[in-house]
């Protein structure tokens, strides 16, 4: 793992390659799974808060800010800021869940079962009509 920025207590799994731009800044307790790429775009690098989890194969590119307690799903491509205590997935990454600061576990710790109140999709989508039978 190559890292030239400020990286206190970063944990990266030894299986598979992790590529990190040397100008990336991070808080403490950042947990990375294999095959993660963190790169710059136009000389602007990502910044990470503390207690962040990055799933296998995720790509984080450009001048994005990843908030404290954020979780990035496997193979997600992050091109925009991730608010604190938010889980993002997909290509491009989009929020699927927000947790309160008190309920958010530290990176690498097991997460409590999700509730409908924290599910972004349930809270943000309009109710769908049931198909008639």
Kindly state the average pLDDT of the residues 53-63: 93
**pLDDT reading at 64 higher than 60:** yes
**SS (HEC) of the chain:** CCCCCCCCCEEECCCCCCEECCCCEECCCEEECCCCEEECECCECCEECCCEEECCCCEEECCCEECCCCEECCCCEECCCECCCEEEECCCCEEEEECCCCCCCCCCCCCCCCCHHHEHHHHHCCCCCCCCC
Residue 108 pLDDT? 57
pLDDT score of 66 more than 90: yes
Domains of the chain: 10-124 (2.160.10.10)
- Residue pLDDT, tens place only, 81-133: 999 999 999 999 999 999 876 565 565 565 554 444 445 544 454 445 556 65
Chain segment 4-56, per-residue pLDDT in tens: 455 555 666 666 678 888 888 888 899 989 999 998 888 889 999 999 999 99
pLDDT at 21: 80
Q: Is the CB of residue 65 less than 8 Å from the CB of residue 47?
A: yes
Kindly state the tokens that stand for 73.
Answer: 């799903």
């Amino acid at each position: 793992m190559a890292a030239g920025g400020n990286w206190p207590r970063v944990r990266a799994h030894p299986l598979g390659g992790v590529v990190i731009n040397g100008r990336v800044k991070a808080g403490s307790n950042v947990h990375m799974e294999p095959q993660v790429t963190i790169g710059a775009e136009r000389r602007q690098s990502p910044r990470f808060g503390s207690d962040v989890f990055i799933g296998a194969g995720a790509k984080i590119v450009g001048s994005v800010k990843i908030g404290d307690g954020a979780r990035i799903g496997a193979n997600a491509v992050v091109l925009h800021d991730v608010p604190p205590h938010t889980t993002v997935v997909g290509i491009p990454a989009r929020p699927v869940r927000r947790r309160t600061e008190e309920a958010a576990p530290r990176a690498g710790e097991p997460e409590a079962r999700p509730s409908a109140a924290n599910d972004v999709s349930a809270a943000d989508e309009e109710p769908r009509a049931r198909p008639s039978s």
